[in-house]
Amino acid sequence: MNRYPASLPATLHAMSAKRAAAIWLVLALAALVVLMASLALGSVSLAPSSVIEALSPLHAPASQGASADLAAEIVRTLRLPRALAGFACGALLAMAGALLQVLLRNPLAEPYVLGVSGGAASFALVAMIAGCAWWLVDVSAFAGAFVSILLVLGLARRELWRGEPQDTSPRLLLTGAVIAAGWGALITLLLNVAPDNRLRGMLFWLTGDLNGNAMPWTALAALVVVLVAIVPAAPRLNVLLRGDAVAQALGVAVVPLRLRVYLAASLAAAAAVTTAGTIGFIGLVVPHVLRLAFGNDQRMLLPAAALGGGVAVMGADLIARLVIAPAQLPVGVITAIIGVPVFLWMLLRAPR
């Protein structure tokens, strides 16, 4: 009994370079629109023309008067770095999620599942309790993420290294999950012993916050590194999804590829966590929404996840700045409020 026609339907076509490029173009345009909105909207709203003027390198402060100066100042030093940081973090988180879902062959994997964010958070909280400067908190967070990466790598090295056609992913996942649980306990301990006057900042850090972000460059640099490391490997990742044996039989060196994916995903998560704390749900929801819409071809999906994740976090941060303006919410609250119902709907909807 076959409900499907005996001949191939004309609409059935696999992903092609052309189709992927069209998807990327649409997402890039969406990113541009959200970026413009992020620069124009806020406690002081600006017309698109004055945003463009403020961005133009030829902008001459003296000729435009005080209000144009203020607009340029807001756009250039406050909104642009923050929007770019949001874009970079979203892109990194969505890519990290997509990569770990492939690596662990588990649709529920997300950037923090292997403990990267726990390590970053624990180290950052220690720095905050010690009253360190903000840049030291960032450095500390990155160090924590790195420690966590090395810890998982050290413990699960046999699973990553062993070049045998066996399925090693479950043990890697379990190792990461246990490490993450350990960090979780440490974070609770730190929150308990932290002095009251520092608790608010610590909680904001844990929810994911782009407020006062003036340094998008580390995250943007990490994004470039991850894209360069991963996009050329996308065809191999497609094959890796069919299991180690199939991938090896097709000529893919599975162990180096798995190591590369793990390191790229970890770097992405570490850079994002360092820049904006633990913004939830982006790494889970964005790749899945794109998969539902366009399929699971990694050649299309990984760049699309970068663009889509960027749009999502920039957009969520815009909402976080606007809903109770002039006060602001942490962006992680918005991504969770939107992400939880979206994810539950995806999980529980009737199968096609």
List contacts with other proteins (CB under 8 A): 2, 4-9, 12, 14-17, 101, 105-107, 164-165, 167, 232, 234-236, 238-239, 241-243, 245-246, 248-253, 291, 295-297, 299, 351-352
d(CA 179, CA 189): 16
Q: Closer CB to other proteins, residue 82 or residue 288?
A: 288
User: d(Cα 54, Cα 48) in Å, to the nearest integer?
Assistant: 10
Q: How far is the CB of 264 from other proteins (least distance, A)?
A: 17
What whole-number distance in Å separates Cα of residue 331 and Cα of residue 292?
25
209 in Cβ contact with 331 (< 8 Å): yes
Please state, in angstroms and rounded to a whole number, the distance separating the CA atoms of residues 173 and 105.
10
Are the C-beta atoms of 328 and 42 separated by less than 8 Å? Answer: no
Q: Which residue has the tokens 């749900």?
A: 281
Q: Please identify, using beta-carbon distances, which residue of 73 and 164 lies nearer to other proteins.
A: 164
Report the distance separating Cα 82 and Cα 155, nearest Å: 37
Q: Which is nearer to other proteins, 326 or 351 (CB)?
A: 351
Q: How far is the CB of 248 from other proteins (least distance, A)?
A: 5
Shortest spacing between CB 10 and other proteins, in angstroms = 11
Which is nearer to other proteins, 32 or 253 (by Cβ)? 253
CB of 252 to other proteins, least distance (A): 7
Distance CA 311, CA 300 (A): 17
**What is the closest distance, in whole angstroms, from the C-beta atom of residue 287 to other proteins in the complex?**
10
Token digits for 291? 């998969």
> Residue 252 or residue 313: which is nearer to other proteins going by CB?
252
Residue 43 CB neighbours (<10 A):
11
